[in-house]
Amino acid sequence: MADTIPPKRIFPTSKVDAHSARHVPSVPQTESDAYKLAFQDLDFLLREDLRPVRFQLELLKPELFLQEAKIASTFVFYGSARIPEPAVADALIAAATNDQQRRIAERLKAKSPYYEVARELARLASRHESNGDGMHHFVVCSGGGPSIMEGANRGAWDEGKESIGLNIVLPHEQLPNPYVTPDLSFQFHYFALRKMHFLIRARAVAVFPGGYGTFDELFELLTLVQTGKVRPLPILLFGRDYWNRVINFEALVEEGVIAPHDLDLIHWSEDAAEAWDYVTRFYEQHPEPQREQTSPPE
pLDDT tens digit sequence for 154-168 = 999 999 999 999 999
Tell me the pTM: 0.88
Distance in angstroms (rounded) separating the CA atoms of residues 127 and 137: 10
Spatial strand order in the sheet of 163-168 = 185-188, 163-168, 139-142, 74-78, 202-207, 235-238, 267-269
What is residue 108's predicted lDDT score, i.e. its pLDDT? Answer: 94
Distance in angstroms (rounded) separating the CA atoms of residues 21 and 39: 12
Beta strand extents in the chain (DSSP E only) = 74-78, 139-142, 163-168, 185-188, 202-207, 235-238, 267-269
Q: What are the contacts of 275-280 at 24+ separation with CB within 8 A?
A: 275/121, 275/206, 275/236, 275/238, 276/121, 276/124, 276/125, 278/234, 278/236, 279/75, 279/125, 279/138, 279/203, 279/204, 279/234, 279/236
Which of helix, strand or coil describes residue 204? strand
Question: How many residues would you count in the chain?
Answer: 298
pLDDT averaged over 10-residue windows placed end to end, the chain, 298 residues: 63 75 79 82 91 95 96 97 89 90 93 97 94 89 96 98 95 86 96 96 97 96 96 97 96 97 97 98 84 51
Number of other CB atoms surrounding residue 41 within 10 Å: 14
Beta strand extents in 81-148 (DSSP E only) = 139-142
User: DSSP secondary-structure letter at 266?
Assistant: -
What is residue 158's predicted lDDT score, i.e. its pLDDT? Answer: 98
54 Cβ neighbours under 8 A, 6+ residues apart:
45, 46, 189, 190
Q: What is the CATH number of domain 71-285?
A: 3.40.50.450
User: DSSP secondary-structure letter at 279?
Assistant: H
> What's the number of CA atoms in the CB half-sphere (13 Å) around residue 92?
21
Are 156 and 93 spatial neighbours (Cβ–Cβ below 8 Å)?
Answer: no
Model pLDDT for residues 26-43, shown as the tens digit of each residue: 888 777 888 788 888 889
What is residue 171's predicted lDDT score, i.e. its pLDDT? Answer: 83
Are 37 and 100 spatial neighbours (Cβ–Cβ below 8 Å)?
Answer: no
- Cα–Cα distances in Å, from 132 out to 137, 145, 265? 11, 32, 32
Are 219 and 211 spatial neighbours (Cβ–Cβ below 8 Å)?
Answer: no
Model pLDDT for residues 234-257, shown as the tens digit of each residue: 999 999 999 999 999 999 999 999
What is residue 292's predicted lDDT score, i.e. its pLDDT? Answer: 46
What is residue 5's predicted lDDT score, i.e. its pLDDT? Answer: 65
